[in-house]
Structure 1
């Protein structure tokens, strides 16, 4: 029976029992602070169980997306190692909200299994709650008596609180449970050991399939149990496990739920499921984790560094790491599996199809990012493990990997666990706290008290309309910091200086005294609702009247860039879609930076369209339409964009350039023509789903085009002032490629000749074909020769070295059979041999490379290699 048919049969059965079929709730929890993810089918009905709301229907059924990777219900570390645990899984369920209770729930479960699915009742076992003294609960005799109607008493087993008392979390609805287990072993195996002895013993062929929870209590914050307002039924059946049973498989992963994904993994990674335990675990991890990540993204949760986003990132990184380590995949590949999953499950869960492109883009971006961290981190971690004495790694070493290279500490712990080692977590925490203290110390400042000169003047910002004015200093203070040294903070009675805010940097300028003395204002900030001007020294006459003058050139450049961000925002929404949201900006006098929500890299064609759109607004010479002190609600009604995360008062300032309308407190040009031209310099990823554009305007754009013109003239000159420089460059490239191919051919022939000579020199040492030789080849050619010889000669242990331009290169190749039989490791061996050439290296157990600065040590290293055959 195909899985889609199985899901349909379940829902249809309970629909015939007057249950309303409801859609699955999102897997990512949004309105429940006690959970990050939906971990059971009942989550979306929690308010009904608590009696806080009344449902339209008291009998419900669905197939719910669930994720169990955090908190009390955490299956993450089991996934892949066995055949029946998952992170994301479907839970088929039926619920009674104060309607029927144990009698009907048990009867209908039996009917569905035995009468509808035709499962042999002799393969079934059931468990009931044995009671718990701490909670004051007795054995569930009622459930026991009800089960006796359907199954022999020797198949009704007592279960403890862990297995037979279901709780959603530390708090919330809960109750005793009755599980249905199925024994899918062969008759021969059943004859050896009774199935009842394997129930709840983590046997892969004696598994729990359906859990009937008799919801009647509420777990309170102090741990006590309180009766719910009414008694309910909450059942959950593992869809993947049921498919295994109905399709006659011995593993959930062998069903049509997973096999399409597994086959695609085999194709993409050139691996074979069933070839080895390591490969099988890796493929299962990837297939499972793909589902979890895709469903989470489709439900609106992107990978991030905290909360639910961190969990999703951790799941994805675990999958990447398994592919990297056990399938030897060094480039992004998981994103290529999204379409298979979407085609397979999109009918039951349409959000997958709708968000498939988003899933693909986000996963690919995460893979690219983590691959860089992973490759470097794993190599360093391997070296640390080898140098570790005993079975516990120093937390100080692990922190170095975490702090310097960004290698996840939980991944370090996982890899250590797989190698039978542990991590000194206390040491790690000590180092982490030291780092935090260092950061705090670096940021420490000593601030003197304010010296108040005038108390009757109220500070006022006039910088929108004026760039110079007469001011008085109302107060000042001295501030010392390790970063900036000694500075003075000045507050004026009024000021034309714009304080840093809304992404725009603060104004610079100076104060001019009546005697001509100048005090430079190096920055302007806002603190506790007052504008603070930073200076390196105080005026000579602190109580005098000064001419405050803003650096007009810097202000105008910043204003041009700020207006350009508004036009850029408008362009992004017009060209990329209304989903684009501003996530941050930096408006500098030299450039602008704009962060925005978007699911993938902006293409070159899209960037050209964005540039074209912004420049069209510039050339239209649109005047600024500024409205101050507009009631917030009125501004929103007029179509103004309020940026997410920004705090607005009762009244706001509206900035409008044509159809671009935003709430903004920054400074802007009076006409878009003042921007002169808009040029995008770069587009990149900041985080998953967050992109960044950096661009320039005005003088910076003029300088950019001047520089490019000069570069073009220089190139043209090198091409003898060719009339068509582009064609000339292409001709040079074609000629270069032709010559390169000829060189590669010559090198290949040279390597082929060397390979023949090397093959003739191979000798047998203790049953191993051994050769350690110096050759005149580069690193790539050495690798090619090594693998060619490895394909032609069995049980080969090969070390090749070369002196290339005064640097030593060395590679070690070991046949995979030797790696297993003699426990040899090329990575470890090459690191030891590398010491002779004053270098280091690493790699995989069957092939590794090293580089060093002492070619004279090659002979000694090659001589040392043979000792591995005789030791």
Structure 2
């Protein structure tokens, strides 16, 4: 059975069971600070399990893209070495929100596997929660009794808390689960050892394919459990493992999910899968990682140096280093796999096809960048080897290569073995552990349980219409972190505060009680559909009514910038073409940032046209036309633009200014004239095919022009109030250029004149013509003198020092004959002597320089120079 049919059969089966089939949510999470990526099928539905929102349908089924590369669920380092772990994987799932429970979940799972997919019942095992004394939980007898109707009791196994009690995290909804395992070993292997003895033992052919979670408890911050108001079903079946079973192969990578990618890798690299274990690992790593990176980029997450972007960059770089080390690929090639991937999975996930060229360009540029880094690392490693006084390289040096330059440990170790050096890997892991502990300590956070003051949980946002409203606190909790210390999170029955989202920052403001006491709201965020307000101090009178007031000035500036991003998007598509798509934004009160797809740097004319287009709409005084809670399809039919990577519900809000219409939940000015003016302050590249514009509006533009006006008059004053300041500056530049040429010539003449004096000062020591002294020349003049003398004398060793404007410079010249015969190295020498001038430097073995901030140390350095030829 082909993978496409396996997926569609699953969805059709549950559609017949009256489930609504929903598309996969974007893999990159935008409104859940506890997760970077969707790491399980239930993540997009957390708000329903937590009771923060009501689902439109009580029965849902889907195939959800998941990524497990960070946090609690991290499979990255296992990927490639076994045949069943992945970074990106599809989770087939069926969900019940307070509808059916264990009986139906078990019955339908068995029916689908054995009657639709025709899996032999005799190769299946199931596990049931055995109970846990610590939590006071009994064995899940109910699930056990249901399973007895379908499978013999010797195939029902007891599972411990680790394997058979599913928890969202340290807190939150949880419950016992039943796993379904499959044994696809040969009959001979089964005769030697029973499959029941291999369940949950990491055997590559005895694997879990489906987990049925019976969500019925809530884990509190103190560790205790309480019953949820409603019982839910959350199931997850690994699509890749299911394909392996149904296609009769022994590895996920041998299924048609991966084989097309593997064949393309074989063709490009001229390597064969299945002949060499190291090559096989590399091919599995690449075929897995290219999927993770491609889907992440399609969902709007580009590789970067921070956060989720860093995770994606790390995955791609892991693939590149395996191709570099084990497939001998020194040029980018992973981007060429996107064509095969989009053809294979583009039907189920159309974003792969629509974003194909962007994905290819980004991956190609990242490959080039990291391959250059690897080249730099090879040079640095070579230098470390040369400077080593023994055959052992410290773990600290290897970690510096890894941490600073991204140079992988296994590659360092491989190269050192080839050079007959050894690496202190224990030392490396000690340094790695220190870094992880620093990182963990910096991000450590503890969150108390919510303290509920009122059962009114509608938590309505009224901030589109008002910036001031009377509210009540419905619940609060304390959060403690190393970064922010103690903070309190408050939830209101209704709020005018806009929570961070869609690129827009959260509102700030204050709460005032009837006694006149004020508590400042420092930020507003949304977590699992709940609007949370952050404050340093807890209000004294929690059960009172408060006046909630948004900082109006900051909100207006933010609204102006947010509206400008819509107009900017329209302008870019008008000026550059319809290929332009928004790829990210940041909307603050002081500025806006807008990332978009485009292949080249914008010209001065294009930037001017974009600015003029936006300002024409501002001058046009276009009113805000918004439609709230309208059907998604209605908004699309009206021409609204939806952004890739955003999660939209069935009902949306559309925002229109003239011909600009977008789906957006952010706040906006009532009329474009409120923006006042739009000014681009920078434009540049973010990644291959992605450009970034930073711009300002409103008060920030006024400040910009005031500052430029002040600078203009200061400049004019310096030019003696010239009537034509630009022409006066041009004259000064020309005059300055001529004077520079005269000075350069004078210095050259001075250098020539000083040569005779220097020749007379040369001293022969151990067959070396030696001179160390200070010179009143610039760096260029010293270099010219050194090379002129070098042409006249063999075995020459020169060290010159000079100072200018409180800075020191050392320059060392060594004849190439001395470099080879005595092993002298100018780069190494100035690096060592640089300590006297509180600086450092380097260069080539025959000429190098060092700069520092201590001119007084020049004499000591010159005195020390003689030691190098007395050895």
Question: Into which bin does the TM-score normalised by the smaller protein fall?
Answer: 0.5 to 0.7
Say whether 1:310 aligns with 2:317: yes
1:358-757 equivalence runs, <5 A: 388-400=388-400, 402-403=402-403, 421-757=421-757
**Is the partner of 1:623 in helix, strand or coil?**
coil
Following superposition, the deviation at residue 714 of structure 1 comes to 1.8
Alpha-carbon distance between aligned partners in 2 of 1:546 and 1:832, rounded to the nearest angstrom: 67
822 and 389 in structure 1: CA distance in 2 versus 1, 3 angstrom threshold: closer
Question: Does structure 1 retain, via aligned residues, the 8 Å contact 2:599–2:689?
Answer: yes
User: 1: distance between equivalents of 2:475 and 2:265?
Assistant: 69
Residue 431 of structure 1 and its aligned partner are, at CA, apart by 2.4
Give distance in 2, aligned partners of 1:71 and 1:540: 56
Q: CA deviation at 1:781?
A: 1.7
Are 2:251 and 1:221 equivalent residues in the alignment? yes
Change (3 A) 1:856 1:709: closer
Instruction: Name the count of aligned residue pairs.
Output: 567
Considering Cα pairs closer than 8 Å and 6+ residues apart, tell me whether 1 or 2 has the greater RCO.
2
Residues 865, 438 of structure 1: alpha-carbon distance in 2 compared, 3 angstrom cutoff: closer
Tell me the TM-score normalized by structure 1.
Answer: 0.57
Q: Kindly provide the CA deviation profile for residues 323-359 of structure 1, in whole angstroms up to 9, marking residues without a partner as x.
A: 9xxxxxxxxxx99xxxxxxxxxxxxxxxxxxx99999
The answer as to whether partners of 2:374 and 2:407 remain within 8 angstroms in 1 is yes
Paired with 1:641 and 1:380, the residues of 2 have a C-alpha distance of 49
Distance 1:404 1:225 in 2: 38
Taking the aligned partners of 1:729 and 1:706, their CA distance within structure 2 comes to: 22
Cα distance in 2 between the residues matched to 1:628 and 1:784? 74
> What secondary structure does 1:510 align onto?
strand
Does the 8 A contact of 1:303 with 1:310 survive in 2? no
Q: CA deviation at 1:665?
A: 0.8
User: Residues 696 and 734 from structure 1, CA distance in 2 versus in 1: closer, same or farther, beyond 3 angstroms?
Assistant: same
- Structure 2 counterpart of 1:4: none
CA distance in 2, matches of 1:564, 1:525: 22
Using the alignment, how far apart are the partners of 2:409 and 2:803 within structure 1? 39
> Any residues of structure 2 matched to 1:118-137 within 5 Å, and which?
none
Q: 1:396 to 1:381 in 2, by over 3 A?
A: same
Q: Retained in 2: the 8 A contact 1:770–1:796?
A: yes
Structure 2 CA distance for partners of 1:367 and 1:682, relative to 1, 3 Å: farther
Cα 1:843/1:369, change in 2 over 3 Å: farther
User: 1:394, 1:665 → 2: CA distance?
Assistant: 54
Deviation per residue, 1:739-762 (Å, 9 max, x gap): 121111111111121234334544
Structure 2's unaligned 5+ residue stretches are 1-78, 82-185, 187-203, 206-246, 257-262, 272-292, 305-311, 333-355
Q: Secondary structure at the match of 1:730?
A: helix
CA distance in 2 between partners of 1:518 and 1:551 (Å): 14
1:558-611: CA deviation from partner (whole Å, max 9, x where unpaired):
111111111112222333333333222111111111222333433333322221
CA contact 1:444–1:481 (8 Å) conserved in 2:
yes
Deviation at 1:374, TM superposition (A): 8.8
Shift of 1:533: 1.3
The more displaced of 746-755 and 398-407 is 398-407
Report what 1:256 is aligned to.
none
What are the equivalent positions in structure 2 for 1:35-74 lying under 5 Å apart? none
Match of 2:820 in 1: 820
Gap runs ≥5 in structure 1: 1-69, 73-134, 136-169, 172-216, 227-232, 242-295, 324-333, 336-354
- Cα displacement (A) at 1:659: 2.5
* Partners of 1:372 and 1:224 in 2: CA distance: 33
Rate the CA distance shift 1:817–1:567 in 2: closer, same or farther, 3 A: farther
Q: Distance between the aligned counterparts of 1:724 and 1:361, measured in 2?
A: 47
Q: 1:602 is paired with a residue of what secondary structure?
A: coil
- In the TM superposition, what is the alpha-carbon distance from 1:839 to its structure 2 partner? 4.3
Contact 1:579 1:597 in 2 (8 A): yes
Query: How is 1:319-330 mapped onto 2 (pairs within 5 angstroms)?
Result: none
Deviates more, 1:790-799 or 1:406-415: 406-415
Q: Distance in 2 between matches of 1:380 and 1:238?
A: 30
TM-score (norm 2): 0.57
3-state SS, counterpart of residue 306 of structure 1 = helix
Q: Secondary structure at the match of 1:398?
A: helix
SS in 2 for 1:507: coil
1:444 to partner: Cα distance: 2.0
Find the aligned partners of 1:358 and 1:451 in 2 and give their Cα distance.
46
For 1:455 and 1:766, how far apart are their aligned partners in 2?
93
Contact 2:361 2:689 (C-alpha < 8 Å) held by counterparts: no
Q: 1:856-867 alignment to 2 at 5 Å?
A: 858-859=858-859, 861-867=861-867
The Cα shift of 1:837 comes to 4.7
Alignment of 1:163-242 (within 5 A): 220-221=250-251
**1:522 and 1:837 mapped to 2: Cα distance?**
48
Residue of structure 1 in register with 2:783 after alignment: 783
In 1: Cα distance, 2:359 partner to 2:748 partner: 44
Structure 2 Cα separation of the partners of residues 503 and 746 of structure 1: 58
**Cα RMSD after superposing both structures:** 4.6
- CA contact 1:826–1:844 (8 Å) conserved in 2: yes
Relative to 1, partners in 2 of residues 1:378 and 1:311: Cα closer, same or farther, differing over 3 Å?
A: closer
On the 8 A contact 1:478/1:488 being kept in 2, the answer is yes
* Counterpart secondary structure, 1:554: helix
Determine if contact 1:362/1:600 at 8 Å carries over to the other structure.
no
Helix, strand or coil at the partner of 1:797: strand
Corresponding position of 1:158: none
Change (3 A) 1:558 1:225: closer
Secondary structure of the residue that 1:781 maps to in structure 2?
helix
Change in Cα spacing, 1:674 to 1:409, as seen in structure 2 (3 Å) is farther
Output one character per residue of 1:169-200: Cα deviation in whole Å (capped at 9) or x when no partner.
x99xxxxxxxxxxxxxxxxxxxxxxxxxxxxx
Residues 797, 814 of structure 1: 8 Å contact kept: yes
CA contact (8 A) 1:557 1:698 kept: yes
Shift of 1:416: 5.8
Distance 1:238 1:542, change over 3 A: closer
CA distance in structure 1 between the aligned counterparts of 2:404 and 2:490, rounded to whole angstroms: 39
Q: Cα deviations across residues 303-322 of structure 1 (Å, max 9, x unaligned)?
A: 8763785379769999xxx9
Equivalents in 2 of 1:386, 1:239: separation in Å? 33
3-state DSSP of counterpart to 2:555: helix
Name the counterpart of 2:830: 830
* Contact persistence 2:365–2:687 (CA under 8 A): no
- Structure-2 change in CA distance of 1:514 and 1:836 (3 Å): closer
- Measured after TM superposition, the shift of residue 234 of structure 1 is 12
